[in-house]
Structure 1
Amino acid sequence: MQKPTYFLILIYILFSTEGFCQNIQLKIIGASEKENAVIDSINYNKQHPDYQSIQSEVQNIQNKLLKQGYIENQHIGIKKMNDSTFESEIYLKAKFNTIYIYYNKNLIEKSILERISKKVKDDYFILNITEVEQKLNYINSEISKEGLPFSKLKLSQIQKTSEHSLQAKLELETSAQKRIINDIVVKGYKKFPKSYLKHYLKIKPGQVFDLNSIQEKTDQLHNLRFARETKAPEVLFTKDSTTLYLYLEKTPSNTFDGFLGFGTNEDTNQIEFDGYLNLNLTNNLNFGESFTVLYKSDENDQQTFEADLSLPYLFKSPIGIDLSLRLFKKDSSFTTADQAAKLHYQINAKHKIYTGISATESNDLLSNSSNTLSDYKTFNYNFAYEFVSAQSFNRLFPLNSKIYAETGFGERTTNDTEQKQSNFNLDAFKIFNLNNKNSIFIRTEGATLISDNYFENELLRFGGINSIRGFEENSIYATLYGVINTEYRYQINNNIYIHSIIDAAYYENKISDTHEKLFGYGFGFGLLTKAGLFKLNYANGKNEDSNFKFSNSKLHLSLLANF
């Protein structure tokens, strides 16, 4: 007897489970075929697990119909047709297309309404029914920007004015007193330079409180190298004060960058080495300051030393100062010393402008020099603009785009003459992200020196890993040049990428009457390690009229370490 009993229980459980898992069908109909077509266009969910889900779906359909203008739609009821099918009737009735909304001009500015409606009068404005919710949310957000974060809008006294039109009164519920930021508290990075709150993020006590604006401003912290936001801002409201909390942490911002390059000397057929060291110290005094030292020595017996100091927001003002020193020696031919001082103003987190002066002194070291070398001094007035945009989600490429443009006007003085001169420099790049793994990098760099005559020791110098790849460092002298670097990058994972190298350049040298096009081709990869970003580039350079030679190839190694 026990076995048949167990068998029957098993059959009951199996069939019961199947019944419990069976979906219920919902069909919604209107009062006519036309109404049925409107309901079907909503694409409502027809499969449901239980009766409660059906009721929720019917309510959802009514709300959607309401937003489309069927504000008088009526739900007749839900009928059970059989064990698996339910039918609901909703009569749509008339559709309303427009609504006349009356408002108090002392509470809501007419200029706000003119952004959302083409028909705004002194006491009312007109909207399409389908836009009402979206437009009212916009009005409410604009009112919140005026320091009224708890404002509420609602339509009252809704009436029919014609067969397809309505009218209503717009009511505003808000506190009598506007909210302002009374205090700003930084959590985590307590020594965060306060000047950056006021002049970089543009957030300070006494401002009208607007949470959306604050979130947009704190997003600009991604452009800072020495700090990051750990979580979204929070606000503490009390009866008579508003306190803003920012959650930040200090990040490693010092960098050490260097590379080692080697290639074959065409004359001696021997391997020659070149390289540079670049040390950047940022925000070690919690002031936002930056100090950079660069030393470079290459196979052309050229030595370069550069030092830059940037001090932002002097005396808590929006003005900062940049000082620089550059020393260059070309074997035993000449030396050049450049000094510059600039004042900068941070317009916002992405834009910065500069103005300043620079002076250059160059000495001819050859006793029997030709007319192409000469002692000279220059003095220039300079103006510059900088734009920086970050992409903090990518550890390998934290900057998405950058533009730096500078121009200078002045004169060059030799022993017996003065010569008016001007110059222009541009350095810009942009990363085009195709998807999470593929991107295209394009950089353009160029400079020109405009003068009636030129000396060899004042010419522009370019070439190498930071210019056109496949050529020796600073081996090309020009009065005008332009370089385009392109890379197709494939990111294998968050720490490794490979890329192509296709570079092109054009330059002119008016001393030697040279006009030439250069090309560089190759490949490379980058590896983000605990020590920093290690990069290897292999590139071969050629001019327009020559053939490729493997002996001209350059292998560049560099390591950018953060600490």
Structure 2
Amino acid sequence: MNRVVYWIVAFCLLYCGSANGQLVYQLTSKGNEKEAQSVHFFSKDSLDQKIESLIRESHSQGFLNAGFFKKSNGDTLIYEFVQGDRFSWESILIKGDSANWGKLGTPSHDYEGPYQWVENWLIEQEKNGYPFASGKIDSIQVKGQSLSGKIELQLGPLIIWDSVEVRGDTKTDKNYLQRFSKITLGGPFSQAEFDQAVRRLSSNPYVQIQNNPEIQFRTRQAVPVFFLKDRRVNVFDGIVGFLPNANQPGKMLVTGQLDLRLAHLGGKGRDFGINWQKLNVQSQSLDLSAKESYLLGSPLELEFGFNLFKQDSTFVNRKLDLNFSLEIASGQSISFFTQRKAGDLISIPNNGTQSEFNDFLDYRWNTYGIGWKWDKLEPGSFSRKGGRIEVHASMGNKRLLENTGLSPDRYENLEMSSPQWLIEGKGERNFYINPLYGIWVNFSAGHLQNTNLFANELFRLGGLKTIRGFNESFFFAKSYGYINLEHRLFIDSSSYLVFLTDAGIITNPFANPKTDQVLSLGAGINLDTPGGMFSFVLAMGKSASQPLSITYSRVHFGYLARF
């Protein structure tokens, strides 16, 4: 019993001693516009920070006599904060720069009004060639709670932009950089213009900022200096195969794929690309593309494209594109283009009555169109954030050409010349959930309209870049809409496991049924290696002509070497 009493007494003494040794700080604030409030602190540093913040805020609002009184109450030290009276400006005169300051109006009579006015004036001068402008409030007089004084303004020397300098591990031409940055050489210096140039460069597809950009001032001139490093945006991918040629015994058949994309040639934003595929005996495709940025020093961008597609021994299509685009806002551009499309039958039986040629005819289609693009994808070869939308529409006159290998009856009741229009759009969005998980969503749709449509002019879908789980160009489509959904589990910043779902609706007037609902499921991996990107996807597709079965699964793989 005595031992229990002893421990109880010891505990009470220890608790009371520690409680008496703990000094508590109480801050009570009383203002003219705020109700009284009380806050307790157990740290002197926290109290000092709060008092300093209150005094700074009160002074900025015109309570120039704000302060505190200290008193004690037992183990509590009480700080009573008092704002006091609020000061305002009775009169304020402005001297200097009479030609420009009038655009800002006159300062308000609140205490912070003249100070905010001077700050706004300095910002305006930084935008218009006077980075060394200065302004101060002088000759302040106090009468009660009323203030009077004058603002003295000095512009300083006029500074103009000189040539842009490029430094770092880059081949970027300074003329290209100047046009991309939108800095006006010979124009007045603008800090806002420089800040905007830095933001634009951070999204450039060819280069990345290596060190913080600088501004060097030299005898009334400003020289922007950018430290850049080229991105690895050039791509090469090639596979070549040799197979026995069943049609020509003793000879070999060359099959394969070549994908070469060269970017930023000469450091001037010039691109060139070639893609060739021959994955079976008689079908092959060829794509050529070229781009010239800032055509002849103008803000226009010129793109040229050529496509050739040969479908076994049935038909061959050619397409020639010429596209002019103009940036209208950050990440937005409009384009005007013209296309010439041509389709020709290859081999026709002598009797010209084979039913399989009823869906194909020779045609020529000249079209003109307009497009719009919004691109806010994260820059670089792989994006985890941002999105992009592209839409274009075109219209033109299509002519049918009579093929002497076909019966004249084939052209009865057909309009040999008719208007035809097309619209296509696509959008993608990256959802950054956390460093280990993200979602990628892509949607594409298109429609082709004419009273006389034929299979060899329809859209072609299927394969790695459209609907996976099917062979390349498996589907013919007059109208289509599909969505790609990927769940990505990241191994590092740009390598990930992927679980995918593709679903869509395809309309083909020459198929049975005419409307097909397609679905594909799959999984794969993308590995970002020092040499490039390796991708492997296994997908199963379901359509009206293909059941959802592992037997019909497709393997899509590729390796893009970047340099």
TM band (smaller chain): 0.7 to 0.9
- Number of the residue aligned with 1:446: 445
Determine if the alignment matches structure 1 residue 339 to structure 2 residue 330: no
- Number of the residue aligned with 1:93: 84
In 2, Cα distance between equivalents of 1:170 and 1:65: 23
In 2, Cα distance between equivalents of 1:23 and 1:285: 72
Q: 2:390 aligns with which of 404, 407, 428?
A: 404
- Number of the residue aligned with 1:289: 270
Mean Cα deviation higher: 331-340 or 495-504: 495-504
- Number of the residue aligned with 1:256: 236
Deviations 1:15-46 (A, max 9, x none): xxxxxxx997654456x6999965646x8x65
In 2, Cα distance between equivalents of 1:246 and 1:23: 57
Q: Is the 8 A contact 2:90 2:148 kept in 1?
A: yes
Residue 230 of structure 1: SS of its match in structure 2? Answer: strand
Determine if the alignment matches structure 1 residue 457 to structure 2 residue 456: yes
Q: Residue 218 of structure 1 aligns to which amino acid in structure 2?
A: V
Q: 2:371 aligns with which of 380, 384, 387?
A: 384
TM-aligned CA deviation for residue 541 of structure 1: 1.3
In 2, Cα distance between equivalents of 1:259 and 1:158: 80
Residue 161 of structure 2: SS of its match in structure 1? Answer: coil
- Number of the residue aligned with 1:467: 466
Q: Is the 8 A contact 2:31 2:83 kept in 1?
A: no
TM-aligned CA deviation for residue 376 of structure 1: 1.7
Residue 176 of structure 2: SS of its match in structure 1? Answer: helix
Residue 468 of structure 2: SS of its match in structure 1? Answer: coil
Determine if the alignment matches structure 1 residue 350 to structure 2 residue 337: no
Change (3 A) 1:130 1:498: farther
Mean Cα deviation higher: 335-344 or 154-163: 154-163
Deviations 1:465-491 (A, max 9, x none): 100111211110011112211112232
Mean Cα deviation higher: 177-186 or 460-469: 177-186
- Number of the residue aligned with 2:400: 414
TM-aligned CA deviation for residue 332 of structure 1: 0.6
- Number of the residue aligned with 1:231: 211
In 2, Cα distance between equivalents of 1:80 and 1:399: 57
Mean Cα deviation higher: 349-358 or 278-287: 349-358
TM-aligned CA deviation for residue 234 of structure 1: 1.0
Residue 530 of structure 2: SS of its match in structure 1? Answer: coil
1:70-85 equivalence runs, <5 A: 70-75=63-68
Q: Residue 62 of structure 1 aligns to which amino acid in structure 2?
A: I
Change (3 A) 1:480 1:72: same
TM-aligned CA deviation for residue 126 of structure 1: 5.9
Q: Is the 8 A contact 1:23 1:48 kept in 2?
A: no
Q: Residue 524 of structure 1 aligns to which amino acid in structure 2?
A: G
TM-aligned CA deviation for residue 287 of structure 1: 2.3
- Number of the residue aligned with 2:562: 562
In 2, Cα distance between equivalents of 1:391 and 1:100: 52
Deviations 1:443-501 (A, max 9, x none): 11222221111122111111111001112111100111122111122323224212221
TM-aligned CA deviation for residue 290 of structure 1: 0.6
TM-aligned CA deviation for residue 169 of structure 1: 5.7
Residue 218 of structure 1: SS of its match in structure 2? Answer: helix
TM-aligned CA deviation for residue 292 of structure 1: 0.5
Q: 1:125 aligns with which of 108, 111, 129?
A: 108
1:63-462 equivalence runs, <5 A: 63-75=56-68, 88-95=79-86, 104=94, 106=98, 123-125=106-108, 137=119, 140-154=122-136, 171=151, 173-188=153-168, 191-257=171-237, 276-298=257-279, 302-347=283-328, 350-367=331-348, 368=352, 369=354, 370-392=357-379, 396-397=382-383, 400-415=386-401, 417-462=416-461
Q: Residue 550 of structure 1 aligns to which amino acid in structure 2?
A: I
Q: Is the 8 A contact 1:223 1:388 kept in 2?
A: no
Q: Residue 455 of structure 1 aligns to which amino acid in structure 2?
A: F
In 2, Cα distance between equivalents of 1:476 and 1:137: 63
Change (3 A) 1:426 1:56: closer
In 1, Cα distance between equivalents of 2:256 and 2:232: 25
TM-aligned CA deviation for residue 547 of structure 1: 5.5
Q: Residue 435 of structure 1 aligns to which amino acid in structure 2?
A: N
Q: Residue 220 of structure 2 aligns to which amino acid in structure 1?
A: D
Q: Residue 73 of structure 1 aligns to which amino acid in structure 2?
A: A
In 2, Cα distance between equivalents of 1:158 and 1:534: 71
Stretches of structure 2 lacking an aligned partner (at least 5 in a row) = 1-20, 241-254, 403-415
Residue 183 of structure 1: SS of its match in structure 2? Answer: coil
Q: Is the 8 A contact 1:180 1:242 kept in 2?
A: yes
TM-aligned CA deviation for residue 298 of structure 1: 4.0
Which consecutive segments of 4 or more residues in structure 1 shift more than 6 A? 32-37, 53-57, 79-82, 98-101, 129-136, 157-163
Q: Is the 8 A contact 1:395 1:494 kept in 2?
A: no
Aligned length: 508
In 2, Cα distance between equivalents of 1:205 and 1:241: 10
Q: Is the 8 A contact 2:546 2:552 kept in 1?
A: no
- Number of the residue aligned with 1:4: none
Q: Is the 8 A contact 2:539 2:555 kept in 1?
A: yes
Change (3 A) 1:75 1:33: closer
Residue 215 of structure 1: SS of its match in structure 2? Answer: helix
1:522-561 equivalence runs, <5 A: 522-543=522-543, 548-561=548-561
In 2, Cα distance between equivalents of 1:530 and 1:174: 56
In 2, Cα distance between equivalents of 1:395 and 1:80: 66
Deviations 1:299-336 (A, max 9, x none): 69531110101122233222332221111110110111
TM-aligned CA deviation for residue 173 of structure 1: 3.4
Change (3 A) 1:153 1:467: same
Determine if the alignment matches structure 1 residue 511 to structure 2 residue 491: no
Q: Residue 529 of structure 1 aligns to which amino acid in structure 2?
A: T
Stretches of structure 1 lacking an aligned partner (at least 5 in a row) = 1-21, 113-121, 261-273
TM-aligned CA deviation for residue 194 of structure 1: 3.0
Q: Residue 91 of structure 1 aligns to which amino acid in structure 2?
A: V
Q: Is the 8 A contact 1:299 1:472 kept in 2?
A: no
- Number of the residue aligned with 1:266: none
In 1, Cα distance between equivalents of 2:471 and 2:217: 62
Residue 432 of structure 1: SS of its match in structure 2? Answer: strand
Q: Residue 108 of structure 2 aligns to which amino acid in structure 1?
A: F
Residue 525 of structure 1: SS of its match in structure 2? Answer: strand
Q: Percent identity?
A: 21
Change (3 A) 1:346 1:55: closer
In 1, Cα distance between equivalents of 2:499 and 2:222: 53
Q: Is the 8 A contact 1:432 1:440 kept in 2?
A: yes
TM-aligned CA deviation for residue 528 of structure 1: 0.8
- Number of the residue aligned with 2:409: none
In 1, Cα distance between equivalents of 2:441 and 2:90: 53
Q: Residue 407 of structure 1 aligns to which amino acid in structure 2?
A: A
TM-aligned CA deviation for residue 364 of structure 1: 0.6
Deviations 1:413-435 (A, max 9, x none): 22362222111222321212223
Q: Residue 397 of structure 1 aligns to which amino acid in structure 2?
A: S
In 2, Cα distance between equivalents of 1:136 and 1:516: 67
In 2, Cα distance between equivalents of 1:66 and 1:244: 39
In 1, Cα distance between equivalents of 2:281 and 2:117: 67
Q: Residue 164 of structure 2 aligns to which amino acid in structure 1?
A: I
* TM-score, with structure 2 as normaliser: 0.78
In 1, Cα distance between equivalents of 2:170 and 2:260: 26
Deviations 1:186-241 (A, max 9, x none): 22257422333333220132233233431332222233333221122211224522
Change (3 A) 1:523 1:132: farther
Residue 216 of structure 1: SS of its match in structure 2? Answer: helix
In 2, Cα distance between equivalents of 1:562 and 1:60: 53
Change (3 A) 1:91 1:458: closer
| RMSD of aligned alpha carbons | 3.8
Mean Cα deviation higher: 467-476 or 199-208: 199-208
Deviations 1:249-276 (A, max 9, x none): 233321124699xxxxxxxxxxxxx974
Mean Cα deviation higher: 330-339 or 232-241: 232-241
